[in-house]
Amino acid sequence: MISSPYKALEQAIGYRFKKKAVLELALTHPSYRYENTEIEDDNQRLEYLGDAVLSLMAAEYLFENNPDAREGDLSKLRSRLTQDRKLAQIGAKIGISQFIQLGVGERKNGGAERASNLADAVEAIIGAAWVDGGAKATNKIFKKIFVPELGALQSAPVKTNPKGALQEYAQSHGHGIPEYKTVEAEGPEHDRVFTVEVSACGKTWSAKAGSKREAERLAAFQALEELNSVEEEKGDD
């Protein structure tokens, strides 16, 4: 029996597709279709569907599991769970970048790590799962990769300024101010991809984005998530 090339991804999302072609389509970036004339479609339609399905699943789950929460609080939490930045982080965690089919130019310019591409692919996979297996399939994925994120979102305040939050964390733990450094800038002037590193608390994290400011934000988010995760593990010991 031939092993599916998407086995690792399917294990990461908690759902095995019956129709692999649907999953493959969800991972087909428009740039790949443009460069391969035999490809008739890309993942944009599935992304549209996945966006709607994800919003509904998040709303239903939050409604059922937060009986005392007000409408405004539920809406804010749903927004934080489904925003592109969070979707990109989830995409990175499940290793989706190695499966996205990109055009040569897009891949060369860092498209496999671009936050917008990761977020779009996650939504497209949700849409593909809906097409492949309906609500049962999408709920499996939601419970596997989204529900674990809710714990951190509900227990922590909204981080509208991750750089500021990281600085507060570092200084409160006896470290200096985090240092940011742009280590690479790729692509044409109209579509630059910046790689930024942030050093804090004796460690370094990096992130890529279409602007230095956004790359710094993403790097700070990564740093905060890991540092807070270590704190939680210490608390459990």
Contacts of residues 219-222 at CB distance under 8 Å and 24 or more positions apart, as own/partner, are: 219/180, 220/162, 220/163, 220/165, 220/166, 220/178, 221/85, 221/89, 221/159, 221/162, 222/89
The residue annotated as part of the active site, out of 120, 123, 132, 225, is 123
- 3-state SS, one letter per residue, for 128-150: HHHHHHHHHHHHHHHHHHHHHHH
Q: DSSP assignment of 24-80, as one string?
A: HHHTB-HHHHHH-TT----SHHHHHHHHHHHHHHHHHHHHHH-TT--HHHHHHHHHH
Cα Rg for the chain, rounded, in angstroms? 19
The residue annotated as part of the active site, out of 47, 51, 106, 216, is 51
Active site (annotated) includes residue 123: yes
Q: Rounded CA gap, 94 and 212, in Å?
A: 25
3-state class (DSSP) for residue 83: coil
Q: How distant, in Å, are the alpha carbons of 149, 161, 164, 202, 226 from that of 167?
A: 23, 10, 5, 13, 14
- The rounded Cα 97 to chain-centroid distance in angstroms is 10
**Residues known to be catalytic:** 51, 123
